[in-house]
A and B are shown apart, each in its own frame.
Chain A
Amino acid sequence: EAGVTQFPSHSVIEKGQTVTLRCDPISGHDNLYWYRRVMGKEIKFLLHFVKESKQDESGMPNNRFLAERTGGTYSTLKVQPAELEDSGVYFCASSRQTGTGNSPLHFGNGTRLTVT
């Protein structure tokens, strides 16, 4: 099966600009997550979709970040306007919905965002 796909792999933008990251999860995976790794820090949770609904967005840093998952398939994460501290690697992950809610997450290769 095809893995989680993220686009673009790299993005360099100037402070104040807008960037949109895209994630295509594994087919059939209802759960979709966004995570971020800032240099020197651990991978941190941003938000979780179940199909098209936001289940948990407690990790979103502020209202400059907007995530959508229209139709419950692919997802986008928009940063507007970007700030220097938004630089990092943004990972998308997906998983099956199970009765235990304990299926492992499968990650994409990430989008490396650099804000100058």
Chain B
Amino acid sequence: EDQVTQSPEALRLQEGESSSLNCSYTVSGLRGLFWYRQDPGKGPEFLFTLYSAGEEKEKERLKATLTKKESFLHITAPKPEDSATYLCAVRSTGANSKLTFGKGITLSVRP
């Protein structure tokens, strides 16, 4: 059974203080790892897809990386508007295409 564990559960940063969010996963075969951002009262918003170990993707202050066991979401010089819950999900190889999610990491960035 696919499993996703995210850590820490919550993270409080000062504006400009860079950090990383961790996503550890277990799948029989990885078809894709997805990062989403979720704001209160909203649905998850797609950020990145990573397909293979060593791959990196960037968007503004965010950079996602992937190894065979985990993924990191690096946040460089965060701003208060980066405050949100960040979700990691995996899709395994096989016939179905469902995503398995972690519980998410709640990030708060203080001005």
How distant is the Cα of A105 from the Cα of B34 in the complex, in angstroms?
9
Enumerate A19-50 residues with CB–CB distance to B below 8 Å: 31, 33, 41-45, 48
**How large, as a class, is the contact surface on chain A?**
20 to 34
Chain A CB within 8 A of B104 CB: yes
In the bound complex, do residue B99 and residue A45 qualify as a contact, i.e. CB atoms below 8 Å apart? yes
In the bound complex, do residue B31 and residue A45 qualify as a contact, i.e. CB atoms below 8 Å apart? no
In the bound complex, do residue B43 and residue A107 qualify as a contact, i.e. CB atoms below 8 Å apart? yes
Chain B CB within 8 A of A109 CB: yes
How distant is the Cα of A31 from the Cα of B97 in the complex, in angstroms?
9
Chain B CB within 8 A of A62 CB: no
Indicate whether A104 sits within 8 Å of B96 (C-beta atoms), given known contacts A42-B104, A43-B87, A109-B41: no
Give A contacts to B, CB under 8 Å. Answer: 4, 31, 33, 41-45, 48, 55-56, 58-59, 91, 93, 95, 100-102, 104-110
Give B contacts to A, CB under 8 Å. Answer: 4, 31-32, 34, 36, 41-46, 49, 51, 87, 89, 91, 96-104
